[in-house]
């Protein structure tokens, strides 16, 4: 205990007290951050008037599709882009802790042992020993707020990195959901085409029977076969696209495509009505807007940091310990030694480096201000785009529902007329094409409505809680 007390020395606690007092009462040069004004409106033009479902963080449950929910949960746990983004957050946190370490004194223990011999030709030729056991401490007084602005910069950069992580998280979840919806759209197309092929083959058999009876032409048979071949080619193309979409889902789950597959089934997802909320909500709900603002705040802190470099830096340094020429007497009271003193570093001439750094910091701030305002405007546009898309797609779905009903009735009547010899096979061909086109269009619009809903959820900042602690599964 005696040794440790002597190593630290008596003057250092008082020095640290004075230093802390000076640092707390000092001012920080440079501008304090204020959020810049951005244009906004009271409400969205395309906001729905119907009752809406609350937007949850686990928004994928709103679609009432267990398979989609399972894929979303697995993506959270295994996606590699999410893990990479989390690693970037860890790096930013470490840099913040490193910057905050500058608020504390640096203390080091420097024991040394040295044995020397002087030159005989220089009148010496003597051999001597020197031993020391010394603790050194240094502390920079943050008189002008350089350390505080530095801490602000790294803290805001860390927050921006965390918001960027949320952007990756949000984008990845939306991507896996959209890929899943597209894959199920392909499944619906396969189902429609297989049903059509069954119908076309039955029509071919009927036409061949009618040909033998002299009630049809050879061209009718060839037309029926051509229609089958066309549908088969469409089916092959859809299956090819489905395989590629399944591979994309596998990658998002962090799996090899060869080790992943989803059974074919019809999409059962509901289309929830998403509340748009108020435009002002986007300033806190969208992680990309939050990231842009944190980067702007960091650029603002960089201006203060550049200004602080124009002022002198004041540090306190001290050392305490033992020095002796004999190791046996190193810790004797008579071997005690200490030193203490302030040091001042005043930049007199830097060749314009400090001025250039300040100009660069101000220009970077102006750049980030423009980026922030652009990000806010783009956020408003994203919401309006998806709201209008959903409105028009709902109208299109209603129109297609009527068109599909008409196509089905037209197809039924044409079939009856052909069987009775009241119409030509060209009418049958036309009815088949109309029915298939209407069925595929209905399936497409259903898929597009789900996709637009997913994009709206992302545009509104769904899946990110700015108040929640940033965590991610680590396997």
Q: For 276-280, 373-377, 468-472, which range has the lowest pLDDT when averaged over its residues?
A: 468-472
Question: Which pTM value belongs to this model?
Answer: 0.84
Q: What is the pLDDT of residues 31-63, one digit of tens each?
A: 999 999 888 777 888 777 655 666 778 899 999
Q: Going by C-beta distance under 8 Å and a sequence separation of 6 or more, which residues neighbour residue 147? A: 102, 103, 140
Q: Which stretch of DSSP H or E encloses residue 318? A: strand 313-324
Q: At residue 16, does pLDDT exceed 60?
A: no
Determine what percent of the chain is predicted with pLDDT higher than 90.
61
Q: At residue 358, does pLDDT exceed 80?
A: yes
Domain boundaries, given as residue ranges, for the chain: 29-109+139-313+353-459
Q: Are 92 and 294 in contact (CB under 8 A)?
A: no
Between CA 96 and CA 73 the distance in angstroms is: 31
**How many residues are given for the chain?**
475
Q: Are 148 and 142 in contact (CB under 8 A)?
A: yes
Between CA 341 and CA 318 the distance in angstroms is: 6
Q: How many CB atoms lie under 10 A from the CB of residue 175? A: 18
**pLDDT, position 1:** 33
Q: What is the pLDDT of residues 72-125, one digit of tens each?
A: 999 999 999 999 999 999 999 999 999 999 999 999 998 988 888 877 776 667
Q: At residue 3, does pLDDT exceed 90?
A: no
Q: Are 131 and 327 in contact (CB under 8 A)?
A: yes
**pLDDT, position 187:** 96
Sign of CA dihedral 414, 419, 421, 425: positive
**pLDDT, position 122:** 65
Question: Taking all residues of the chain, what is their mean pLDDT, rounded to a whole number?
Answer: 87
Determine what percent of the chain is predicted with pLDDT higher than 70.
91
Q: Going by C-beta distance under 8 Å and a sequence separation of 6 or more, which residues neighbour residue 19? A: 105, 139, 141, 316
Between CA 284 and CA 293 the distance in angstroms is: 10
**pLDDT, position 332:** 86
Please give the residue that has the higher pLDDT: either 399 or 18: 399
**pLDDT, position 183:** 96
Q: What is the pLDDT of residues 413-441, one digit of tens each?
A: 999 998 888 888 889 999 999 999 999 99
Q: Are 285 and 467 in contact (CB under 8 A)?
A: no
Question: Following DSSP, what letter does each residue of 92-116 receive, concatenated?
Answer: HHHHHHHHHGGGS-EEEEEEEEEEE
**pLDDT, position 8:** 36
Q: Going by C-beta distance under 8 Å and a sequence separation of 6 or more, which residues neighbour residue 193? A: 231, 234, 235, 238, 436
Q: Are 460 and 381 in contact (CB under 8 A)?
A: no
Strands 106-117 and 313-324: unpaired
Query: Which CATH architecture group holds 29-109+139-313+353-459?
Result: Up-down Bundle (1.20)
Between CA 141 and CA 102 the distance in angstroms is: 10
Q: What is the pLDDT of residues 102-113, one digit of tens each?
A: 999 999 998 988
Please give the residue that has the higher pLDDT: either 184 or 266: 184
Q: Going by C-beta distance under 8 Å and a sequence separation of 6 or more, which residues neighbour residue 378? A: none
pLDDT band at 27 (very low <50, low <70, confident <90, very high): confident
Residue 139's SS3 state is strand
**pLDDT, position 26:** 55
Single out the residue of 105, 20, 133, 5 nearest to residue 318, CA to CA.
Answer: 105
Q: Going by C-beta distance under 8 Å and a sequence separation of 6 or more, which residues neighbour residue 67? A: 180, 262, 265
The terminus-to-terminus CA distance of the chain in angstroms comes to 46
Q: What is the pLDDT of residues 295-315, one digit of tens each?
A: 999 999 999 999 999 999 888
Between CA 198 and CA 215 the distance in angstroms is: 23
pLDDT band at 24 (very low <50, low <70, confident <90, very high): very low
Please report, for residues 59, 60, 155, 252, 395, the alpha-carbon distance to residue 74 in angstroms, rounded to integers and kept in the order given: 15, 12, 31, 9, 35
Single out the residue of 455, 405, 411 nearest to residue 431, CA to CA.
Answer: 411
pLDDT band at 245 (very low <50, low <70, confident <90, very high): very high
**pLDDT, position 52:** 60
Q: At residue 211, does pLDDT exceed 50?
A: yes
The first and second tokens of residue 349, run together, are 């001439």
Q: At residue 2, does pLDDT exceed 60?
A: no
Between CA 155 and CA 150 the distance in angstroms is: 9
Q: Are 303 and 358 in contact (CB under 8 A)?
A: yes
Q: Going by C-beta distance under 8 Å and a sequence separation of 6 or more, which residues neighbour residue 18? A: none
């Amino acid at each position: 205990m005696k040794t440790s007390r002597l190593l630290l020395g008596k003057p250092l606690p008082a020095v640290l007290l004075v230093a802390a007092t000076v640092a707390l009462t000092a001012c920080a040069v440079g501008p304090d951050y204020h959020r810049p004004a951005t244009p906004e409106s009271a409400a969205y033009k395309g906001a729905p008037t119907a009752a809406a479902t609350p937007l949850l963080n686990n928004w994928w449950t709103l679609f009432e599709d267990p398979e989609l929910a399972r894929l979303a949960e697995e993506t959270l746990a295994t996606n590699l882009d999410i893990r990479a983004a989390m690693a970037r957050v860890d790096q930013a946190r470490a840099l913040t802790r490193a910057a905050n370490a500058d608020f504390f004194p640096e203390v080091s223990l420097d024991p040394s042992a040295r044995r020397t011999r002087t030159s005989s030709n220089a009148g010496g030729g003597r051999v001597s020993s020197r031993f020391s056991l010394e603790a050194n401490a240094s502390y920079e007084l943050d008189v002008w707020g350089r350390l505080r602005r530095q801490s602000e910069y790294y803290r805001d950069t860390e927050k921006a990195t965390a918001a960027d992580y949320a952007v990756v998280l949000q984008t990845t979840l939306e991507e896996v959901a959209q890929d899943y919806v597209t894959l199920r759209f392909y499944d619906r197309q396969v189902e429609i085409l297989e049903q059509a092929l069954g119908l076309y083959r039955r029509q071919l058999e009927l036409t061949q029977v009618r040909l033998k009876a002299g009630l049809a032409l050879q061209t009718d048979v060839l037309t029926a076969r051509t229609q089958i071949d066309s549908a088969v080619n469409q089916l092959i193309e859809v299956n090819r696209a489905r395989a590629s979409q399944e591979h994309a889902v596998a990658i998002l789950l962090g799996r090899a495509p060869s080790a992943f597959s989803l059974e074919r089934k019809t999409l059962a997802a509901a289309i929830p009505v998403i509340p748009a909320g108020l435009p002002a909500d986007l300033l806190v709900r969208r992680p990309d807007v939050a990231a842009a603002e944190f980067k702007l705040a960091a650029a603002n802190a960089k201006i203060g940091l550049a200004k602080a470099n124009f002022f002198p830096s004041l540090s306190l340094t001290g050392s305490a310990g033992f020095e002796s020429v004999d190791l046996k007497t190193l810790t004797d009271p008579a071997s005690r030694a200490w030193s203490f003193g302030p040091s001042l570093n005043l930049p007199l001439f830097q060749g314009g480096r400090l001025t250039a750094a300040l100009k660069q910091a101000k220009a970077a701030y102006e750049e980030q201000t423009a980026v922030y305002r652009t990000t806010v405007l783009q956020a408003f546009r994203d919401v309006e785009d998806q709201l209008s898309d959903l409105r028009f797609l709902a109208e299109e779905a209603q129109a297609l529902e009527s068109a599909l009903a008409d196509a089905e009735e037209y197809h039924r009547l044409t079939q009856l007329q052909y069987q009775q010899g009241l119409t030509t096979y060209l009418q049958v061909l036309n009815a088949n094409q109309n029915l298939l086109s209407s069925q595929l269009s209905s399936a497409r619009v259903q898929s597009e409505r789900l996709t637009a809903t997913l994009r709206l959820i992302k545009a509104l900042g769904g899946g990110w809680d700015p108040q929640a602690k940033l965590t991610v599964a680590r396997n």
